[in-house]
Structure 1
Amino acid sequence: MSLTDASPRQGLLASITENRFLALLSDSAAPLSRSDISLLSGISKPAISDAARRLEESGVIVSTGVREGKRGGVAALYEINPARGHSVALALDSAFVAARSVRLDGTVAFDKAERLPHGASSDFVIEIASGLLKSIEKESDSVLLAAAVSVADPVNRKTGDIIPMADSVFPAGHINPVQDLKIQAPEIKVDNDVNWATLAERSVGAMTEVEDFLYIHLGAGLGAGLFLGGALQRGARGLAGEIGRLRAPDGEDLTRTLSRLGFGNSSGSYGLDVQGARQLFERPELAPTTREALGYLTVAIANMVTLLNSSAVVLGGPLAALGPLREHLSTTVPELSLDSVDVIVGTRSPLDGASHEAHRLARASLGF
């Protein structure tokens, strides 16, 4: 066999070994030795030692000390090098802007949110977001490897561009986040906030073992994340799951229906008033219009469950934790659905989803 025939095979084996080496280090709560990794991976000690040398030379891992053996020997201990790189996640919402930076070893370096005033302009959103990104850059001592951006507007699944909507709960979000915020990273991903929250529940939340579920965002806007067959479904252009746009026979969409029944903004702008909605559920007894609104919302969710045959519904957003709302949906959605379905309140945010993906992209860029 010629050298040209052997090299690709040798390179492939080396890459697989390094990938396994890094994956084990990443999953471990403590530093590991080469012997530890050989034992856990089933890969020979010489191959692991070669991988350790290559990874240490590239700066992806660092030696953090030694462990003394029973026979007087010592073993070098390794961990992922946190200073080799970092990822950034940014969440643009109608109520706030949040940013998080995660080092390559998975530790959080920066996590901060700033509230937005009602009716904030695009320029103001860009100013706040840019300030958070500059703070991350100032405090970071490593290179930016990947970034992920969450926006409270639909995103074109093919281009990553924001899809402007005439009626939007976040018109100030109709920007090009990558260009306007001057984000420069080898890997950048932009997606809708509901999609990010759905992915967060799947990757690090309550749905890690569930292949088919429906995520419902209840806030200033209404949205649904469709996780079907083990994958997130975005539709032809990224508009799948717009439950707030579902229309009644008279042509009025669900968002406007709920607004008309007491959930709307006093200004008359499109979307729901989160604080006002909370107050509706603080009353000793729900008003007839509130009950009517709940009926419309329940039917919309139950119809989606029946259409998609989801095994679970995850409620998210600022209104999801309201006791009467949660209890009503948990009881009535299963009653109206064709098949059995669990209704729970989620624990993860869009920022969690974006941060998880940005960190995954950062690691993938270095081979694990």
Structure 2
Amino acid sequence: MSSTDVSPRPGLLATITEHRFLALLNESENPLSRSDIAQLSGISKPAISDAARRLEDAGVIVTTGIREGRRGGVAALYGINPARGHSVSLAMDSAFVAARSVRLDGTVAFDKTEPLPQDASSDFVIAIASGLLASLEKASPTPLLAAAISVADPVDRITGEIIPMADSVFPAGHFNPVRDLNIEAAEVKIDNDVNWATLAEHRVGAMKGVGDFLYVHLGAGLGAGLFLGGNLQRGARGLAGEIGHLQVQGSEDLTRTLSRLGFGNAARAYGLDLEASRQLLSGPELSPTTREGLDHLAVAIANMVTLLNSSAVVLGGPLAGIAPLENYLSTAIPDLSLDRVDVVLGTRSPLDGASHEAHRMARAGLGF
């Protein structure tokens, strides 16, 4: 007997109906009636009515109002229940810690960023993050359904542990966020900031629907997100895309080369100095030394583009929007690449990527 000859179990049919019911509510900007959902889904009205009853009993949907019909009848309007739960996203960077809470219906309950001093210790970062999460809990007194964490360090893609590196722009982030911040949720994901930003650009940003592109983070640290064949590539352990560690001259990597050419600061053990970099790029004309640094950066990016045959390069991070830098790379990268490539400015942050994924996991845990 073929699989098409097997009738689905009633429970499976009910689950499919509920999934479609919730998906349509989630996609709609306005509340929907059972008649609306039946028409949009092509599922019978009795089946939709049964699904509405089950979902309302489970607290996943609520009645938000009524609609009066032309003949005097009224129809109940449904929406996702924001009180059913929320998701949490946390982004930790060498310059800040940010936290966001999103209710199940997609509305934002909490969104705040706290700056970090340059000499912040791990204990200090943990204290700031814990304080933000405590404030978030007060603003979101509903069940925590899912959490996503972004850190400015590589993350082991199998174990989820942060990979400590001697040359790191965020050594204060070398701790276990889930354990040390007491994050308890049914679903928790942790990844590095560049990967989260890459996913955000693909899902809701400049690269929505694009299957192959390279995301380049330009900040205190340099990193790249490799989006190939419709998927983010993390490598064997999670270190794929560490463009800042590419060798440029002898044993000197790209980050140290740029630091030596004025983009760094002696006070910083490793990484670029954002203020020093902005000053180099703010003059009426770029100096020969600054151009040399940008040439090294453009060559590294173009080599990755040629290797991966990316259709586009997305520039992100705190330095990406500086006009002289953007203009220089937008010209140099295509000229150095083997195939045609577009260079665009990113519109999304690592917190956006983590927030989107946390909300997706929260919905998926409830069947939509």
Q: Where does residue 252 of structure 1 map in the other structure? A: 252
1:22 aligned partner, one-letter code: L
Partner residue, 2:201: 201
- Aligned equivalents of 2:80, 2:268: Cα separation in 1: 52
Residue 41 (structure 1) shift: 0.7
Following the alignment from structure 2 to structure 1, what is the Cα–Cα distance between the partners of residues 332 and 7?
62
Q: Look up the match of 1:37.
A: 37
The aligned residue for residue 366 of structure 1 is 366
Shift of 1:141: 2.4
In structure 2, what residue type is equivalent to 1:56? E
1:281-360 matches, cutoff 5 A: 281-360=281-360
- Structure 2 CA distance for partners of 1:61 and 1:342, relative to 1, 3 Å: same
Give, in whole Å, the separation in 1 of the partners of 2:255 and 2:318: 16
Q: Does 1:47 align with 2:47?
A: yes
Task: Name the residue aligned to 1:191.
Answer: 191
**Counterpart Cα distance in 2 of 1:249 and 1:118:** 28
* Unpaired stretches in structure 2, ≥5 consecutive residues: 1-5
Residues 3-22 of structure 1 mapped to structure 2, 5 A cutoff: 9-22=9-22
Query: In 1, Cα distance between the equivalents of 2:156 and 2:286?
Result: 39
Partner of 1:106: 106
Change beyond 3 A, Cα 1:295–1:311: same
Aligned to 2:133: 133
Query: Equivalent residue for 1:3?
Result: none
Residue 9 (structure 1) shift: 1.4
Partners of 1:177 and 1:8 in 2: CA distance: 43
How many angstroms apart in 2 are the aligned matches of 1:123 and 1:35?
55
Residue 65 of structure 1 and its aligned partner are, at CA, apart by: 1.5
Distance 2:13 2:170 in 1: 49
Give the deviation of 1:7 after TM superposition: 9.9
TM superposition shift of 1:274 = 0.5
Distance 1:265 1:278 in 2: 12
The residue aligned with 2:224 is 224
Deviation at 1:266, TM superposition (A): 2.6
Q: What is the aligned residue count?
A: 363
- How far did residue 188 of structure 1 move? 0.3
CA distance in 2, matches of 1:165, 1:91: 19
Residue 119 of structure 1 aligns with which residue?
Answer: 119
**Which stretch of structure 1 is more off in the superposition, 299-308 or 263-272?**
263-272
Aligned equivalents of 1:7, 1:212: Cα separation in 2: 40
RMSD: 1.0
Moved over 3 A (4+): none
Give the partner amino acid of 1:170: F
- SS of aligned partner of 1:248: strand
Per-residue CA deviations over 1:135-186 (Å, capped at 9, x if unaligned) read 1112222100000000000000001000000110000000100000000001
Show structure 1 runs of 5+ residues with no match: 1-5
What is aligned with 2:215? 215
Higher deviation after alignment, 265-274 or 356-365: 265-274
Identity of aligned residues (%): 77
Distance 2:160 2:29 in 1: 36
Output the amino acid matched with 1:258. Answer: L
1:79 maps to 2:75: no
Residue identity in the other structure for 2:283: R
Matching residue of 1:68: 68
Indicate the larger mover: 7-16 or 343-352.
7-16
1: CA distance between counterparts of 2:288 and 2:158? 44
Between the aligned partners of 2:311 and 2:47, the Cα distance in structure 1 is 45
- Whichever residue aligns with residue 98 of structure 1, its letter is A
Shift of 1:268: 4.6
Task: Give the TM-score normalised by the residue count of structure 2.
Answer: 0.97
For the residues of structure 2 that align with 1:318 and 1:139, how far apart are their CA atoms?
29
1:227 maps to a residue whose letter is F
* Equivalent residue number for residue 177 of structure 1: 177
SS in 1 for 2:202: helix
**Rounded Cα–Cα distance in structure 1 between residues aligned with 2:18 and 2:192:** 34
Cα distance in 2, alignment partners of residues 315 and 217 from structure 1:
6
